[in-house]
Each structure stands twice: as C-alpha cells, then as structure tokens.
Amino acid sequence: MTVSSFHPPQRILMGPGPSDVHPRVLQALGRPIIGHLDPEFVMMMDEMKGLLHYAFQTTNQLTLPVSAPGSAGMEACFVNLIEPGDSVIVCVNGVFGMRMVENVERSGATPITVEDDWGKPIDLNKLEDALKANPGVKAVAFVHAETSTGVQSDAAAIAKLARDHDALSIMDCVTSLVGTPVLIDEWGIDAAYSGTQKCLSCVPGISPITFSERAVERIRGRNSKVQSWFLDMNLIMGYWGAGGGGARSYHHTAPINSLYALHESLVMLKEEGIENSWKRHKLMHNALKAGLEALGLSLMVEEKYRLPQLNTVTVPEGVDEAEVRRRMLADYGIEIGAGLGALAGKVWRIGLMGQSSNASHVTLSLAALEGILKDLNAPIANGDACGAAQKVLLG
C-alpha cells in the first residue's frame, strides 16, 4: 500500500462546528515547539489565563484550557464537583443536556432531570419546582446554548435559582462563548466549560474551563478522590498555577502547538473586542435570517430565544435534506449540519461561528442554498435571498 501526505480540500465551514480558522491561528501551529515547562511557555500560560478571563468575563483564578476537547471540559466539571451519592438537577432540552445526565451517572451520583421540548429554552418554573422538591441537591447543570437546536436559555436566572437553593451551577457554553454574551461573574456561574472549535475559531481539541471560588472550595473539600486522575483539578492546579507565576509541577505534556493556536485566537478576540464579536455574530444572523425569509424558509426556534451563531432551519415539505447538504458540499464546498436526535431529517443547522461569521460566507451560503432548492423544485418563494441579506448588512 502506498501512503502519501494528506491534503484536505478547502471547505467553507457553516455547520455546528468546527468553524473556519484564520491563517494567523494556523500559522501559530507551526511555530517552534518548546518544553511544556520552559519559562517562556509558562509565561504564555499565564498570559493565556488572562485572555481566558476576558473571554469568560471573569476573575476566577481557576480558569484554564483543558488539554482535550469540550466533552472533556464537561467531564472535568462533573468529576471534580460531584461525588458518589450526590444528587444533581440536569436541565435537558437537547442532545447535550442528555450528555450531562450521563456524566452525573458515571460520577456515581443521581440525576434529577427537568425536561423541556427540543427548541424550547429551559423552563424556570419547572426548575424552581424541582429545586423545592429536592432539597440538598449539589448542583444544577444546564446548557446555555444548545447546539442541537440553536436555543439559548436564561443562564443568569438559572444560576440565581441554584444559588438560592445552595446548589452550584454548571454551565455548558461550548457554542455561546464569545459569539453571544457569557458573563460568568455577573451571572454567578460556578463552573463553565467551552470548546475552541466554535466561536473562538481555533483548532479542535482544547476546552477552556472556569471555576468560581465556591466551586474551588467544593473541590478542595471533597470526601473522595476525583474519579479521573487526568482531570483532577487538585493536580492540574499545580501545573497551571493556582495564582499565576511561581514554580510549576509536572502533570502532563500539554498540546504545546495547539495552545499556541488558542493564544493567537484569544489575541485576535482582544483585538476585535468582545462586544464587537457579539455584535458581528448578531448582524450575520440577522442577514442570514432575512435571506432565508425571502425564500420562505423559517427558523425553528422562537426569535427571542435564538442563538445568532447556530441557526436551525426547518426543511421544506418533500425536500431531501441530506441531498441538499450533499450538494452544498460537493458543488460549493460549503458544509452545513444535519439535525440530531429528534430533529434528524427535519432541520439544517447553519453555523455562523467565529471566522465563519462574515458577510461573504452568509451571501454565498444563501446563493448556494437557493440555487440547489430551485434545482430540486422545492416549494420556496421567489424572493432575492442575497439581496435581502445585503440590505441588512449595509444597514
């Protein structure tokens, strides 16, 4: 068998992640490798923690990138904060809430689920009733931005309910971080995890996480060892430095070049300004929405709960949604996502994340979608999708 170098095709990533990566971030990957305890690398680690404070809008000392993807960030939160015998309320309104339930069970704890329909935000009244009915729960876990549906829940209100009942809050902000406001300190979130491949527009494989002082006290006061050696924050704190600077203890060999890339993406975020990033994602969402509506297509999620960076588009009656996605990729090099779970075959998921959230990507995607749907004789309107989007973009 002859083996040669792999050269991937050029794609326009408009799905639920990963997103396009800027050349600056890709170039950072190719910088010279140095030791993971090299003084220069340690200096970069401290700087990266400060940049993550900015992204999360927090001053939490225990804020760092886990050397693994967002799913490991999720697991890190649960295995550090939850012990066998605990009970945890998990809000489930999509695929990723269901994964939280699995993490609670694997931590030896009992999940108490509060379920809402896919495409609907977490019902605060249901959550409050569950907290009243289950005194002593250790945490409330929820997905801020449910990637499977494109719905955003009220994180501040959920965190307040948890605090009012002396429970920690654990938040998945994988899709929301820097694409829509994530205000860890203002909202009083105790633990949150994200991923690099969404609105941060970095390579996949790193999970930024943050823990409040209240959460750190819980970790340090555990009655049992953390179930995962690799994800034990008591050990990782020694490598990343609890308060910045000082000697570091070896824990694992960090993915050095991937962290270069994350550092660069965070520098770019600081250059743009986080409020400008939020505004850009919202503007591109409004332009995409205008174009879709010109074609008679609708977004599944009610407007006030929609995520700007993840749009679930209802597939028109009689249209083979998989064929549309195949044609988008084969004919235009554009990747959009399929529906998951209960939404499989019913929606397309169009991402507007990070570097993929720009005017040219929006108009190209609309033009491609319109052309393919017309070719398939789909029941769509004869509006000018790109023209409608341009009106929004030009103000």
The answer to whether residues 173 and 32 belong to one domain is: yes
The answer to whether residues 254 and 285 belong to one domain is: no
Locate 195 and state its tokens. 């991923």
Q: Angle at CA 183, nearest 5°, toward 312 and 356?
A: 40
Is residue 17 situated within a structural domain? no
The answer to whether residues 324 and 349 belong to one domain is: yes
The answer to whether residues 288 and 224 belong to one domain is: no
Burial class (CB in 10 A: 0-12, 13-18, 19+), 343: buried
Among 236, 256, 271, identify where a domain stops.
Answer: 271
Per-residue pLDDT of the chain (395 residues; tens, 9 = 90+): 789 999 999 999 999 999 999 999 999 999 999 999 999 999 999 999 999 999 999 999 999 999 999 999 999 999 999 999 999 999 999 999 999 999 999 999 999 999 999 999 999 999 999 999 999 999 999 999 999 999 999 999 999 999 999 999 999 999 999 999 999 999 999 999 999 999 999 999 999 999 999 999 999 999 999 999 999 999 998 888 765 455 788 899 999 999 999 999 999 999 999 999 999 999 999 999 999 999 999 999 999 999 999 999 999 999 999 999 999 999 999 999 999 998 999 999 999 999 999 999 999 999 999 999 999 999 999 999 999 999 999 98
Is residue 11 situated within a structural domain? no
Half-sphere exposure in the Cβ direction for 386 (13 Å, CA): 12
Predicted local distance difference test score (pLDDT) of residue 288: 98
The answer to whether residues 194 and 324 belong to one domain is: no
- Domain of 52? 23-271
The answer to whether residues 278 and 317 belong to one domain is: yes
The answer to whether residues 296 and 235 belong to one domain is: no
Q: Which of 259, 194, 207 is nearest to 25 (CA)?
A: 259
What residues are paired with 111 via a beta bridge? 88
Structural domains counted in the chain: 2
Under 8 Å CB-to-CB from 205, ≥6 apart: which residues? 68, 69, 196, 197, 255, 258
Is residue 1 situated within a structural domain? no
The answer to whether residues 267 and 341 belong to one domain is: no
Q: How far, in Å, CA of 195 to CA of 202, rounded?
A: 9
Q: Hey, how many other C-beta atoms are within 10 angstroms of the C-beta on 393?
A: 17
DSSP string, 273-307: -HHHHHHHHHHHHHHHHHHHHHTT--BSS-GGGBB
For residue 65, the domain's CATH number is 3.40.640.10
The answer to whether residues 41 and 111 belong to one domain is: yes
Is residue 300 situated within a structural domain? yes
For residue 385, the domain's CATH number is 3.90.1150.10
Identify the helix (H) or strand (E) that includes residue 114: strand 110-115
Predicted local distance difference test score (pLDDT) of residue 150: 97
Under 8 Å CB-to-CB from 77, ≥6 apart: which residues? 170, 191, 192, 193, 209, 211
Q: How far, in Å, CA of 335 to CA of 338, rounded?
A: 10
pTM to 2 decimals? 0.97
Assess whether the previous peptide bond of 208 is cis (omega < 30° from 0): no
On whether the CB atoms of residues 222 and 93 are closer than 8 A, the answer is: no
Among 246, 271, 296, identify where a domain stops.
Answer: 271
| Long-range CB contacts for residues 221-229, cutoff 8 Å, separation at least 24 | 222/83, 223/83, 224/83, 224/84, 226/79, 226/80, 227/79, 227/106, 227/107, 227/108, 228/75, 228/76, 228/79
Identify the helix (H) or strand (E) that includes residue 76: helix 70-81
Q: Angle at CA 381, nearest 5°, toward 377 and 386?
A: 105
Locate 278 and state its tokens. 């939020």
The answer to whether residues 75 and 165 belong to one domain is: yes
Is residue 239 situated within a structural domain? yes
Is residue 68 situated within a structural domain? yes
Parallel, antiparallel, or unpaired: how do β-strands 337-338 and 139-143 relate? Answer: unpaired
Is residue 9 situated within a structural domain? no
Q: Which of 60, 275, 46, 49 is nearest to 187 (CA)?
A: 60
Locate 115 and state its tokens. 């379920």
Is residue 235 situated within a structural domain? yes
Predicted local distance difference test score (pLDDT) of residue 242: 60
Q: How far, in Å, CA of 237 to CA of 226, rounded?
A: 14
54-79 as b/e: b if 16+ CB within 10 A: ebbbbebbbbbbbbbbbebbbbbbbb
The answer to whether residues 361 and 230 belong to one domain is: no
Among 271, 298, 333, identify where a domain stops.
Answer: 271
The answer to whether residues 82 and 51 belong to one domain is: yes
